Chain A
C-alpha cells in the first residue's frame, strides 16, 4: 500500500486507534523516501503526540476528535514531511510544554522529549476555536 501526502486522518481519542495510525505514518514516511529506522522514529514521535492529546488534552476520554494531517514539504534543495495534530480539548499554553529534565529519571514529559528529539521543528499553538495545534516537521537527512 502506498500512502501519498497530503493525507488527512480523522480519528477518535481511543488508544486502540494508535497502532493503525503508527502503521500509516510509518508507511507514509517510507513512501516519502525516509530510511526504515527514521520512519520508525517518526511513527514513534507522532504516536507520542497523539498519546499526549488523549492523556492531557482529553483526560483519557475516548470518542473525542483528533485530526492528523500529513503533508510533503520542500525548501530549497531539501524535502521532508510535516505532521499536524489538531485536537479540540483543553487548550495547552505552549509555554508550559517542555520535555523532562533528563538528569532526573522519571516518566513525566518523556513523550515531549521524544517528539523534540526525533523531529527537526516542533511548534505548539492554541488553535482557533479551542484546542491545540501541534506541527512537527522532519527533513530527510540525505537531502
Chain B
C-alpha cells in the first residue's frame, strides 16, 4: 500500500481506504494525492476508515472536504468510519461534524456496498 494509506480494499461496490497515524501538514499532501487518484476511478461508495488516525489538523480536514466534493460531483457517496475522539473533536471545532456522513461501525459503512 502507499505511505499515505495503510490499506485499501474492495467490498462489493464499496471501496474502503484506511489512512493511519497523524494526518498533518507533513502527511496530508500525500494523502490528498492518493485520495484524488482513487476518486478518479469513481467508486460509487467510498469509505474512509478513520479508526487508526490519531490526529488530524485543518490540512487533513481540507483533504476530506476536497474528497467529498470530488465524490459528490460524480454522484458517489463518501462515508467516514469511526473517527477517534480527537479527530471527532476537530470536526466539531471546524463545524464539519454535521457536514460529513459519519458512522460508528463497519457494518453501517458497508450497508449499501
Contact = CB atoms under 8 A, between A and B. Distances in A.
Nearest to A19: B22
B25 A106 contact: no
Interface stretch (A68-76, A108-116, A128-136): A108-116
Range of interface residues on chain A? 20 to 34
Contacts of A44: 57, 90, 93
A16 B27 CA distance: 9
Chain A at the B interface: mostly helix, strand, loop or mixed? helix
Contact of A51 (B25, B55, B65, B90): B25
Interface stretch (B3-11, B34-42, B94-102): B94-102
Given A55-B25, A118-B93, A111 B58 contact: yes
B43 to A, nearest CB: 21
Contacts of B90: 44, 114
Contacts of A114: 58, 90, 93-94
A103 B55 CA distance: 25
B2 interface: no
A37 interface: yes
Contacts of A54: 25
B58 to A, nearest CB: 4
A47 B57 contact: yes
B57 A105 contact: no
B3 to A, nearest CB: 13
A19 B28 CA distance: 13
Contacts of B55: 22
Contacts of B58: 48, 51, 107, 110-111, 114
Interface of B: 22, 24-26, 55, 57-59, 61-62, 65-66, 86, 89-90, 93-96, 99
A-B residue pairs, 3 tightest by C-beta: A107-B62, A15-B26, A110-B58
